[in-house]
Amino acid sequence: MSKYAYFPGCSLASSSMEYDTSFRLVAREFGIELQELDDWNCCGASPAPHHWVEVLGVLLAARNLHIAGAGEAPLVAPCAGCYNRLKHAQYKLERNQELRRQTSEVLGEEVRYQTEVLNIVKMLNREIKPGALAERARERLAGVRLAPYYGCLLVRPAEVIGYDDPRDPKKMEPLLRATGAEVPHFALKSECCGSYMGLARKEIVLRASHRIIEAAVAAGIDALVTACPLCQQNLDLRQGQINRAFGTSFRLPVLYFSQAIGLALGASPEELGIDSLAVEPDVDRWLKGAA
Amino acid sequence: MADAGKGHACGVRRRGRDDEIKLVGFLCNWCSYAGADMAGTSRLAQPAALRIVRVPCSGRVDPLLVMKAFQEGADGVLVSGCHPGDCHYNEGNYYARRRLELLKRMLPYYGVEPERFHYTWVSASEGGRWAEVVAEFTAAVEPLGKLHYAGGAPAAAAGEEDGDG
Amino acid sequence: MRIGVFVCQCGTNIAATVDTEAVAEAAMSMRDVYHAESIQYSCSDPGQRQVIAAAHQHRLDRVVIAACSPRMHETTFQRAVIQAGINPFMLEMVNIREQCSWIHEDREVATTKAIDLVAAGVARVRGQVPLKRGRVPVVGEALVVGGGIAGIQAALDIADAGMPVTLVEREPTIGGNMARLDKTFPTLDCSSCILTPRMVELKHHENIRLMVSSEVTAVRGYIGNFEVDIRKKATCVDEEKCTGCRICEEKCPSRAPDEFNAGVGESKAISIAFPQAVPLVAALRKEHCRQFIKGKCGVCKKVCPADAVDYEQEDELHTEKFGAIIVATGYRLFDWEGAYPDYGGGLYPDVITSLQYERMLSASGPTGGHIVRPSDGREPRDIVFLSCVGSRAESVGRPFCCNVGCMYIAKQAIQTREHLPDSRCYVFYMDVRACGKGYEEVYRRAQVEAGAVYLRGRVGKIYPRGDKLVVMGTDTLIGDQVEIETDLVVLAVGFAAAEGAGELARRLNIAYDGYQFFTESHPKLRPVETTTGGIFLAGACQGPKDIPASVAQASAAAAKAIRLLSREDLETSPMVAEVNHMRCIGCFKCAEVCPYNAIEKQKLHDGRTVAVIIESLCQGCGLCNVACPPQVISLRGYTDNQLISEVVEVLR
Ligand SMILES: Cc1cc2nc3c(=O)[nH]c(=O)nc-3n(C[C@H](O)[C@H](O)[C@H](O)COP(=O)(O)OP(=O)(O)OC[C@H]3O[C@@H](n4cnc5c(N)ncnc54)[C@H](O)[C@@H]3O)c2cc1C
């Protein structure tokens, strides 16, 4: 049985609990052991790295790496934002001795930062063979058009992340296809959703997210699939705001990657927290369509 | 060459201080020799221990010639040719690379530290690179000091040296 | 043996750090040196006369000049010693400037080193023997590879000078990329109106032999004497009989991609690329033909009124001799699809290349000169041009400029306005490069007369919205993002070398860069020569170029070839390898390493088979000298003994 240290991060522990629930469910189904990181803390999210004192942008994430470094298991961070921060911290510590010294000083011991850090897509691709998923999914989602939406943080900057093609990411596709769903080309799969600008400059988020939803609807997509709580929020929770701002009436569900896989495994929308999405998909119709 | 000629010996050691190292460099005419010229044209200062011998191609450098240089008192030998793929004679430097790599590995068996021998590629446009090569190689050999090579290169290596030696 | 040593002061270039008097004095005590002096400027006329006079006075038979690099003035001093009655190969130059005075500061150190080097030079020249240059006759015919505008121009120039030329073109017709263009900047005259007459002239020129559907498969020999294998591919059509009536094409049931039209429209398995093709002869592509795929059809053979179709036709192999070769294989567009997923990577039919657009603009093209959207055949109203797709793009590994994109976008924008007066053109650009004569004017016309809107910035994404395309980019001048909903996107895709360019370069033994463009011998002073004597470059095969530059380079290459072909013979270097036949054991290890196939077997009277060097082929690399097990091959000018004596001297 594979074992991972699990870093939920703040989103999965609060606003995106359904991501946590569905991720744990998928892990359980495939016999993957998730050991929640002991006494983890916020990764620093968007504010910390923007501070001019460089070490502050690294410290919070580094502490989590340090804790994970005590064990053997690789670290999985399903939130694309957390994942991105952890990778950045690792990248900087690797290359900057002074930063390493400062971090170690704060931690009170030599920082351990070399634990392997995985995002959810990389981890599930490693653990689940598409064939194995397909066997269990038995075409459950056949006819449903699920398009992966990667956003920015999961794959960029390529130099730091080093996973998937930064301009044309594709790594969600094999497992999504194994659910039986149709996976159409989605031109805006790695376009920015507006990210954390939602608080300071809401109109930027509305414009950017509107574009993505509009393009997805135009492409006849039934739901977007993402691995980022912030993207999910902007596209799902703010869809009402978008509709009001642009006079549209979109109702495009935005699922988490783990929710899509969970559905294929036969879990109910409730078990996966799909019922708590702002735009709820008509899962019954999806499943009936396939049957 | 049986010319009686003017029989002055040039056996007088020219170099005063015996602790100075002496290096020999075999440079191909087309790339590295031109690169060394370019370093000069750019006035790039270099250590003076190296003496350059021009050859048409790095592939002309017989490993035995390198051994001969050690036998004659060289403390280090450098060979430089065109970059792989850029040989003026298409493939001469590939032969050089094979032979010289082998030689480098054999040197310890002759009692010569492998650091005393280096082969590299410098193009006609890499004057700066050439100056670096000379500086690096000199710095690599200097700490080893003088080589007291007892000989041991096969006799054939010597060819038939003419004159008064 | 009487050697003279001349130590040049080169003004202060050498004398400032090397004590030239001391060097001359030291030289006097070297073996066989009968005269040594320091000269202020040895390469000057008085300096040379001083050398000649001293040679006479001291009856010198060998000369050592310690001065600048032999790469600088060896020929100068060779000429000088000839005047003194000394064989030019009895001169040795010692480099005490570039490799001594200019790189050392300490006078004592530099002087010691100079003495060492002079001693080595003296030792080396003592081992030298008088050599004589050989002569080889020059074959008076040129080969031109590639029949685009550059190849055509070069072939015509040489032929007009009265020399025979063979032009080898891979496709069934000549014309190259220019034949696909509608109008040409800067004057916007019709491409085929200026190209077709030249193509026809070439075909009928008495001094030109045209070989189409042909490729160079091997090249042997050297300047003045190349031996080239040419394979003429079977096209299943007898060139002599075909009248170009195109009935076969009309009746042919097998569809095939239309490469000439850059994929706009379709072609047939047997076809003539375009109405002005030269030669106007059909060619059959077996890979698309039902007769060859299914084994039965025979329609073209049946309908051909001239009985020119022959399914049994086989490839022909020719071996020809040439004195000079001009390479003019041109370019193709960079394969953009894989590199630009952001632009749909080929997924959207209404995102096309500039060459496809060019074919649409052409009255004789697949759309009859109508600009239409490939997706639905409708006329576009808004058209967005993107410059620098696969040029000036580090991110896709194509850092260089395509040299023509800015200009043909302006041209195409002007033409678009003429074709579709109500259309609107937008141009995303990085910088507009309009540096040629009359070019800026074309750019201004595009803006002012054709009303094209120029936006400075790159496009990040193209995606479909309904039946339109959304182009998302930045306008770096206003510092904001822009979004344009458009009907058609035209990508100005950068240049790549012709398919197989690298392979051809290896056959020709010429250098090429990381993008497989052929490398000129010197970027400024030898722009049409290659590093291999007798092979010249013309046109876009050497780097992205427009037509005026291609034609100019072609004429320059032709001039070089004519200069070579007009000579009866060439001098060869005598610094070649030599075999001591008495001791050769006939193992032929030497022949295995020789890059020039310059070593032959020869049977002697005593029954032994030994190696002999073909002096006209040997280039003097010395590989055989090292490879020879009994050490009986020696490279003249660089014999083992010479090199050893140099080593001994510098280490003394
Ligand atoms: C869209 C577009 C518009 C343009 N508009 C203009 C314009 O308006 N004005 C202007 O000045 N320039 C323009 N150009 C540039 C112009 O096309 C080139 O400058 C010109 O075609 C270069 O000519 P060339 O003979 O060097 O190469 P090419 O035209 O590419 O000809 C090369 C020939 O060699 C042949 N060949 C290739 N490999 C081999 C081989 N191994 N053996 C035998 N034959 C071989 C090819 O089949 C081809 O016939 C434009 C380019 C593009 C892409």
Mean pLDDT confidence for B24-50: 95
Cβ-contact C33, C93 below 8 angstroms: no
Shortest Cα distance, chain C CAs vs residue B82, angstroms: 13
Q: Ligand 1: distance of its center to the CA of C393 in Å? A: 22
Q: Is C110 on the interface with B (CB under 8 A)?
A: yes
Alpha-carbon dihedral of residues C545, C548, C554, C556, nearest 10 degrees? -110
The gap between the terminal CA atoms of chain A, to the nearest Å, is 33
Cβ-contact B75, B144 below 8 angstroms: yes
Alpha-carbon dihedral of residues C430, C432, C433, C435, nearest 10 degrees? -160
CB contact under 8 A, C462 and A187: yes
C603 burial via Cβ count (<10 Å: 0-12, 13-18, 19+): exposed
- CATH 1.10.3470 for domain C3-126: no
Residue B161: pLDDT above 50? no
In degrees, rounded to 5, the angle at the alpha carbon of residue A210 between the alpha carbons of residues A208 and A214 is 125
Residue A58: closest CA among A3, A19, A100: A100
Residue A144: closest CA among A187, A185, A190, A184: A184
Q: Ligand 1: distance of its center to the CA of C444 in Å? A: 26
Helix axes C191-204, C149-160, angle to 10 degrees: 40
Task: Kindly state if the Cβ of C500 falls inside 6 Å of ligand 1.
Answer: yes
Task: Kindly state if the Cβ of C147 falls inside 6 Å of ligand 1.
Answer: yes
Q: Ligand 1: distance of its center to the CA of C176 in Å? A: 5
Shortest Cα distance, chain B CAs vs residue C563, angstroms: 24
Residue C151 token pair: 């190849």
- CATH 1.20.1050.140 for domain A2-118: yes
Q: Summarize pLDDT for C384-412 with one digit per residue, the tens.
A: 999 999 999 999 999 999 999 999 999 99
pLDDT value, residue B155: 39
Fill in the amino acid letter for A215: A
Q: Is B148 on the interface with C (CB under 8 A)?
A: no
Ranges assigned E (strand) in C73-114: 91-95
Q: Among residues 35-54 of chain B, which lie with CB inside 8 Å of chain C?
A: 36-41, 43-46, 48, 51-54
State whether residue C151 is helix, strand or coil. helix
pLDDT value, residue B88: 83
Supply the DSSP string of C354-378, one letter for each residue.
Answer: HHHHHHHH-TTSTTTT----TTT-P
Mean per-residue pLDDT pooled into runs of 10, chain A (291 residues): 95 96 98 97 88 88 96 97 96 96 96 97 97 95 97 95 93 97 95 90 95 95 97 97 97 98 97 96 90 68
Q: Summarize pLDDT for C542-562 with one digit per residue, the tens.
A: 999 999 999 999 999 999 999
DSSP single-letter state for residue C97? I
Mutate to test the pocket of ligand 1, among C181, C183, C216, C442 (most ligand atoms within 8 A of CB): C181
Residue C536: closest CA among C140, C143, C217: C143
Q: Is B165 on the interface with C (CB under 8 A)?
A: yes
The answer, yes or no, to whether B and A have at least 3 beta-carbon pairs within 8 Å is no
Residue A185: list chain C partners with CB under 8 A.
347
Q: Summarize pLDDT for C217-237 with one digit per residue, the tens.
A: 998 878 899 999 999 999 999
Place of tokens 């003394």: C652
* B47 prior amide bond cis, ω within 30: no
Domains in chain B and their CATH numbers? 23-161 (3.40.50)
The minimal CB distance from C99 to the residues B24, B37, B92 is found for B37
Q: Which residues of A121-130 are buried (b: 16+ CB within 10 A; e: fewer)?
A: bbbbbebbeb
Q: Is C524 on the interface with B (CB under 8 A)?
A: no
Place of tokens 């698309």: C288
State whether residue C239 is helix, strand or coil. coil
Residue C270 token pair: 């047997």
C-alpha to C-alpha distance for B121 and C556, rounded to whole angstroms:
33
Residue B112: closest CA among B140, B148, B143: B148
Phi, psi of C39 (to 5 degrees): -120, 145
Residue C243: pLDDT above 90? yes
Average pLDDT of chain B?
84
The residues spanned by each domain of chain A are 2-118, 132-290
Residue A113: closest CA among A79, A134, A85, A78: A85
Question: For strand C599-603 and strand C577-579, is the pairing parallel, antiparallel, or unpaired?
Answer: unpaired
Cβ-contact A78, A8 below 8 angstroms: yes
pLDDT value, residue B87: 84
Give me the CATH topology for the region C142-233+315-330+505-565. Answer: FAD/NAD(P)-binding domain (3.50.50)
In chain C, which residues touch A (CB < 8 A)?
Answer: 341-342, 344-345, 347, 461-466, 470
In degrees, rounded to 5, the angle at the alpha carbon of residue A272 between the alpha carbons of residues A271 and A275 is 90
Alpha-carbon dihedral of residues A283, A287, A288, A290, nearest 10 degrees? 140
CB contact under 8 A, B41 and C575: no
Shortest Cα distance, chain C CAs vs residue B162, angstroms: 8
Residue B165: pLDDT above 60? no
pLDDT value, residue B15: 54
CB contact under 8 A, C341 and A191: no
C-alpha to C-alpha distance for C77 and C67, rounded to whole angstroms:
11
Q: Summarize pLDDT for C481-530 with one digit per residue, the tens.
A: 999 999 999 999 999 999 999 999 988 878 888 899 998 888 888 899 98
Residue A168: list chain C partners with CB under 8 A.
341-342, 345
Shortest Cα distance, chain B CAs vs residue C68, angstroms: 9
The three-state DSSP-derived secondary structure of chain A is CCEEEECCHHHHHCCCHHHHHHHHHHHHHCCCEEEECCCCCCCCCCCHHHCCCHHHHHHHHHHHHHHHHCCCCCEECCCHHHHHHHHHHHHHHHHCHHHHHHHHHHHCCCCCCCCCEECHHHHHHHHCCHHHHHHHHCCCCCCCEEEEECCCCCCCCHHHHCCCCCCCCCCCHHHHHHCCCECCCCCCCCCCCCCCHHHHCHHHHHHHHHHHHHHHHHCCCCEEEECCHHHHHHHHHCHHHHHHHHCCCCCCCEEEHHHHHHHHHCCCCCCCCHHHCCCCCCHHHHHHHHC
Residue A165: closest CA among C77, C341, C60, C64: C341
pLDDT value, residue B3: 44
Task: Kindly state if the Cβ of C215 falls inside 6 Å of ligand 1.
Answer: yes
Mean pLDDT confidence for C52-69: 97
Residue B69: list chain C partners with CB under 8 A.
647, 651
Cβ-contact C585, C629 below 8 angstroms: yes
ipTM: 0.88
Phi, psi of C112 (to 5 degrees): -60, -45
Residue C10: list chain B partners with CB under 8 A.
none
How many CB pairs (< 8 A) connect B and C? Answer: 175
CB contact under 8 A, C622 and B56: yes
CATH hierarchy code of domain C573-636: 3.30.70.20
Cβ-contact C558, C158 below 8 angstroms: yes
C-alpha to C-alpha distance for C99 and C77, rounded to whole angstroms:
19
pLDDT value, residue B2: 42
Q: Summarize pLDDT for C15-45 with one digit per residue, the tens.
A: 999 999 999 999 999 999 999 999 999 999 9
pLDDT value, residue B85: 73
Cβ-contact C279, C203 below 8 angstroms: yes
Nearest residue on chain C to B44, alpha-carbon basis? C103
Question: For chain C, what percent of residues have pLDDT higher than 90?
Answer: 92
Residue C464: list chain A partners with CB under 8 A.
187, 215, 218-219
Residue C22: closest CA among C11, C38, C4: C38
B6: confidence class by pLDDT, cuts 50, 70, 90 = low
pLDDT value, residue B17: 54
Q: Within 13 Å and on the Cβ side, how many CA atoms surround C482? A: 21
Residue C184 token pair: 């040409």
Q: Within 13 Å and on the Cβ side, how many CA atoms surround C92? A: 27
Helix axes A120-127, A257-265, angle to 10 degrees: 30
Average pLDDT of chain C?
96
Question: For chain C, what percent of residues have pLDDT higher than 70?
Answer: 100
B151: confidence class by pLDDT, cuts 50, 70, 90 = low
Give me the CATH topology for the region A132-290. Answer: Rossmann fold (3.40.50)
Residue B7: list chain C partners with CB under 8 A.
31
- CATH 3.40.630.30 for domain C334-496: no
Nearest residue on chain A to C344, alpha-carbon basis? A187
Task: Kindly state if the Cβ of C178 falls inside 6 Å of ligand 1.
Answer: yes
Residue C69 token pair: 């690099």
The total of other beta-carbon atoms located within 10 Å of residue C135's CB is 12
Q: Is B14 on the interface with C (CB under 8 A)?
A: yes
Residue C619: list chain B partners with CB under 8 A.
89
The residues spanned by each domain of chain C are 3-126, 142-233+315-330+505-565, 247-303, 334-496, 573-636
Mutate to test the pocket of ligand 1, among C166, C177, C385, C414 (most ligand atoms within 8 A of CB): C177
CB contact under 8 A, C463 and A167: no
CB contact under 8 A, C651 and B51: yes
Same fold for the domain at C142-233+315-330+505-565 and the one at C334-496? yes
Task: Kindly state if the Cβ of C169 falls inside 6 Å of ligand 1.
Answer: yes
Cα Rg, chain A, nearest whole Å: 19
